[in-house]
Structure 1
């Protein structure tokens, strides 16, 4: 115990030598632009007038490259996500939201490959046109101008782990509106062995992460007249091969997006850029 405490103390004193962005890129992916993969296993719930209604298990698989460009990282990302029945483990085809008279169809989610940017502090605008190459469908966001704010906080050490929190806040504004049509707020905490961070120069460190998000209604939910939102929370891990995916997520990807499993690098190489 004394040795562990001493190591943690030594690592804590070195945290200020780290650049938060490049550190989290080593944990999130690979800071040299190499292909990386990760998965998320989360739960999503509906919040209306203080009532919490279970919605689904959220399973996601991401293929990405994180390329250093000056003080930023430019990321090429392909993501698939599945809304899964919490009892059966099967993808949900329809769901009846609170206050609705009938179920609505639950669309498939696949976005990318797209280029996005990360920085210690980033605040920028981009145009989203659903249906363009790489963009999610209009079921998830209308044609809009999107303000994206991303940031990385100062790393800290707890016992033998080094942790870094990242923040993302997106708001999509349709033409002529001062109120966002949709919004998304995300917090992630990446964790890795502090010894891995400080004792090697590897750009690619084994890491896990926790995930928390708040999201407004999406167009497909048909809940515009109801005051509320959804929340999600879960955990994920960076992996070095599709074979490391949990069995249930691997089965979902195999069923719905097999091209990503067959050739992750090839799927990501079909890169589109946002306007």
Structure 2
């Protein structure tokens, strides 16, 4: 073999090797979750869809009441979902625009209920379902000295935990709302753990990461429970999944939403404020004289 023939043969072999390398899974575009920018991208795809499509995250929850010195007592179930959309903004930031509904259910049957006998007061109360619109925020990428989200990778699985302590003035102040207000300040906490396949989390080729999640929350008595400033609080323990469409949600949740809150079948198209909570929603209904009164 002459040098010319050898060089030609080597070139063909090298080109073939390069082509196989580029086509192999190991060479596919991946994210380094230890880097702030890559970790932020992975987080966006975990909670939403960077193509701007709506995503649905549901939950199936048990609510427990905790009174001082007493064992936590399961009192209700709850099912609902959040539907959100990522809207790309300049400099890599996003608006995360969402709305959410959640429906209280009988602890044993799982049936959505409109009234409830409070086991702590023995009084029947009309329920105000959750219908919060909007629940939105800005998502800004980390700067040069920013920190990467705390992803945990173990084997073929990855997770991301978020702990959100909350404290702000209570919309329902006790002087004007003695039965509905737990005090001058709203004190609560939200805790999420999102789980996904490791390969999906580090992939840089998909716009949305399929995931499921655990949700834990502590919060004050709900206004419609009429517990006032009774010592104690609520514990929410649940789990859920991420979906690409409304049709994938549980049948009972879909049916109730279509009947009572049809605008919640998709995500908002733009960012607007102020955010709604169960407390601001209750206050609006009360001010407008629209709180449910006949619910037996």
In structure 1, distance between residues paired with 2:263 and 2:33: 41
Instruction: Tell me which residue corresponds to 2:191.
Output: 187
Q: Provide the C-alpha distance between the structure 2 equivalents of 1:114 and 1:232, rounded to a whole number of angstroms.
A: 19
Q: 1:221 to 1:28 in 2, by over 3 A?
A: same
Q: Contact 1:45–1:53 (CA<8 Å) still a contact in 2?
A: yes
1:110 pairs with 131, 141, 145, which one?
A: 131
Unpaired runs of at least 5, structure 2: 1-30, 175-182, 276-296
Change (3 A) 1:99 1:59: closer
Matched, 1:94 2:115: yes
In our comparison, the structure showing a higher alpha carbon Rg is 2
Q: TM-score, normalised by structure 1?
A: 0.72
**1:59 Cα offset (Å):** 0.6
Q: Gaps (5+ residues) in structure 1?
A: 1-12, 122-150
* C-alpha displacement of 1:32: 4.1
SS at match of 2:224: helix
Measure how far apart 1:214 and its partner are: 0.6
Q: 1:36 aligns with which of 55, 60, 63?
A: 55
Partner of 1:228: 232
Quote the RMSD (CA, aligned, Å).
3.0
Cα gap change, 1:191 to 1:120, in 2 (>3 Å): farther
Structure-1 residue corresponding to 2:163: 167
CA distance in 2, matches of 1:84, 1:218: 15
- How has the CA–CA distance of structure 1 residues 59 and 245 changed in structure 2, closer, same or farther, with 3 Å as cutoff? same
Instruction: Give runs of aligned pairs for residues 1-275 of structure 1, distance below 5 A.
Output: 14-17=32-35, 19-49=38-68, 50-69=70-89, 70=91, 72-118=93-139, 153-174=149-170, 180-261=184-265, 264-265=266-267, 268-269=268-269, 272-274=272-274
Considering fraction of residues, name the structure with more helix.
2
- Compute the displacement of 1:180 (Å): 4.9
The structure where strand makes up a greater share of residues is: 1
Distance 1:270 1:25 in 2: 17
Aligned residues: 229
Give 1:97 shift: 2.8
Secondary structure of 1:243's partner?
Answer: helix
